[in-house]
Amino acid sequence: MERRVLLAISLSFLVLFLYQTFILPPPVPVAPASTAAGETPALGAEGAAATPVGTSPAPQAPAESQAEPLVADAQEREIVIDTALVRLTMTNRGGRITSWILKEYLGEDGQPLDLVPSALPEGRTTPFALVTGDGVETRRLNESLYRMNVEGPAVDATTAPATIEFEFQAADGLRATKRFVFAPDSYIIRFSAGVWRGTEAVNPSVQWGPGLGDELSRAGGGFLAGAYSYPVQAIYYTDGDIERINAKDLAGQGVQEGAFRYGGVTDHYFVSSILDPPGPVRFDYAPLSSPDPKDPLVERQFIDYTVRFSAPPQDVQFYFGPKQFDVLRAIDPEFTRVIWFGIFAPLAVPLLGALTWVHGFVGNWGWSIIVLTILINVAMFPLRHKSVVSMRKMQDLQPQMKAIQARYAQYKVTDPERQKMNTEVMALYKEKGVNPASGCLPMLLTMPVLFAFYSLLSQSIEIRGADFGGWIDDLSRHDPLYITPLLMGASMFWQMRITPSTADPTQQKVMQFMPVMFTFMFLWAPSGLVIYWFVSNLWAIGQQYFTNWLIGPMKVVSGPELHTEKPVRPARAPKSEKKMKSVGSGKTDEAKSSK
């Protein structure tokens, strides 16, 4: 039975692995808002005629025909704003963000990570471009040189908020303003914008552009890397739940309109999202593939999105940063659901809190994983001990069980005599005080914790880029020397060898294959996850030896308990009975002969 439980656990992990590889996470389609021909979209006509999402429209008239600028800058220039968490770069060409560098997170080149993708195809824009229903007008809004309220090349916002304003006005009456507010210790951008054609106010859409630029989460790691690092997705929160759409599934779902708590784009570790928009909004999502500038044979997958509000955006909040649980919870408890813990979130969230608490004392995420793994196994010690003791009792009864099964082997399953075998087995359990379920249930109770910790370590940004020491310099990536996966596989094989077994030879052969399969799967798993699994195996091995010492060696059953004589259904009286009847009637052999 315990072998079947181990097999069930192993197969459960295999199913979870395959699910995350090929299905993760499942998109929940919501019917996009449709617009019949000739009708005006619910959010106004200005966004209806906009060009395809993510593309700056080609000019429809020569530049000479455009009106002269009245309020603008004479030359293009950039400004760098420093906060405690971010170093961003803005350009006065269109008043857009061209770089958003996170100071606390590194990219695959070892430098601070820039979440604005680099080397984009021509015509792709960067965050906070404006889109109207006119293609030429949209191009002017995004290519004109705005006047900024800052003269110098840099702004220090590490101690106090910084407000950056852009303004543009042309002789034909086209005018646009943008205002950005950056807080010292926040990843939130407060954004306002306005567009006018003379005295007519225009409601522009806000185009974010392709995102996100987290190259590390999409870096190579074998053909199984996708199981531990899912690609960029469109997200939106509605009706008390978060919906996710992969780039390949955007056809037919690229337009989402309604009242959303938040929405945007996310990848494995980072998110770009609008927060609590005022009134209903419309999201236009579009997939984008772009060759990696470092390796043209590798395609980078992005999702471009545009947001249209019911009115021109005023002091709207955008979050652009890591999916760090405490940071997201401080903004909105429901915003933490952008972290995909799956069905194990109720357990994964407390475990993450415990891991963070341990890290506060240990100071190293790798050792924090080891300490928390030991604490979890200490808590589960009684359950595992009870399971091992029950399995030992079951193993002690195997000779008697096989004797009972042998006596009834000649009967078919449907034969009423076969039912007596079950009665004898239950009587044996009762006589010896053994509960067959007591060996399985304690182990099954530990499975949710194991799955939750697996989900936690494969999703938490806390271990991204965390140095464990030695040859492991990033716990979120696979072991570069594949030492820990091999040790994990060896420990798993060792554990199976010393675990009490009541399985038949076929099941034993299947179980011997499991360590090989898991070793292969974990070759590309995050090293933090492999360390957790390896330490858990070592603890289980030590506990097995301790329990074996505590309960003593296995009993050797012999004698009448192993009697295997098969019962025979009586068809006629045996000869011995006939002889006894003859004796009982008073007749002897001599009497018969004299007669």
Q: Which residue has the higher pLDDT, 28 or 137?
A: 137
Q: Are strands 255-258 and 241-246 parallel, antiparallel or unpaired?
A: unpaired
Average pLDDT over residues 584-588: 47
**Virtual CA dihedral for 355, 360, 364, 369, nearest 10 degrees?**
-20
Both structure tokens of 201: 């106010």
Give pLDDT, residue 591: 44
504 or 57, greater pLDDT: 504
Buried b (16+ CB within 10 A) or exposed e, 365-395: bbbbbbbbbeebbeebeeebbbbbbbbbbbb
Q: Which of 178, 144, 110, 227 is CA-nearest to residue 524?
A: 227
Q: List all residues 6 or more positions away from 525 whose beta carbon is below 8 Å from its beta carbon.
A: 227, 228, 458, 478, 485
User: What is the mean predicted confidence (pLDDT) over 96-114?
Assistant: 89
pLDDT at 7 (0 to 100): 54
Average pLDDT value for residue range 3-26: 53
The pLDDT-based confidence of 402 (bands split at 50, 70, 90) is: confident
Domain residue spans of the chain: 2-16+356-397+434-551, 77-338
Contact (CB, 8 A) for 324 and 462: yes
CA distance 461 to 325: 9
Which segment, 192-206, 211-225, 492-506, is predicted with the most confidence on average? 192-206
Of 99-103, 116-120, 335-339, 418-422, give the lowest mean pLDDT range.
418-422
- Give percent of the chain above pLDDT 70: 74
Structure-token pair, residue 570:
């009586």
pLDDT score recorded for residue 220: 40
Least confident window among 153-162, 182-191, 540-549, 571-580: 571-580
pLDDT of residue 201: 92
CB 35 within 8 A of CB 48: yes
Quick one: which of 265, 227, 260 has its CA closest to 247? 265
Higher-scoring residue by pLDDT: 122, 102: 102
Stretch among 137-146, 150-159, 414-423 having the lowest mean pLDDT: 414-423
CA distance 223 to 446: 30
Which pLDDT band, with edges at 50, 70 and 90, does 502 fall under? low
Q: Is 321 or 122 the better-scoring residue by pLDDT?
A: 321
Whole-number Å distance between alpha carbons of 564 and 578: 27
Distance, CA of 213 to CA of 391 (rounded, Å): 52
AA identity, residue 557: V
Amino acid at 61: A
User: What is the reported pLDDT for 66?
Assistant: 64
Asked if 48 and 315 touch (Cβ cutoff 8 Å), the reply is no
- Give the pLDDT confidence score for residue 6 in this predicted structure: 52
What is the predicted pLDDT for the residue at 520?
87
Q: Return the pLDDT at 2.
A: 47
Which pLDDT band holds residue 504 (cuts at 50, 70, 90)? low
Q: Judge whether 161 and 92 are in contact, CB under 8 Å.
A: no
pTM of the model: 0.76
Of 454 and 168, the structure prediction assigns the larger pLDDT to: 168
Categorize the per-residue pLDDT at 507 as very low, low, confident or very high, splitting at 50, 70 and 90: low
Q: Which pLDDT band holds residue 13 (cuts at 50, 70, 90)?
A: low
Task: Give the class (CATH, top level) of 77-338.
Answer: mainly beta
Q: Are 145 and 78 in contact (CB under 8 A)?
A: no
Q: Per residue in 551-568, pLDDT tens? A: 766 555 554 444 444 444
pLDDT of 553 reads 64
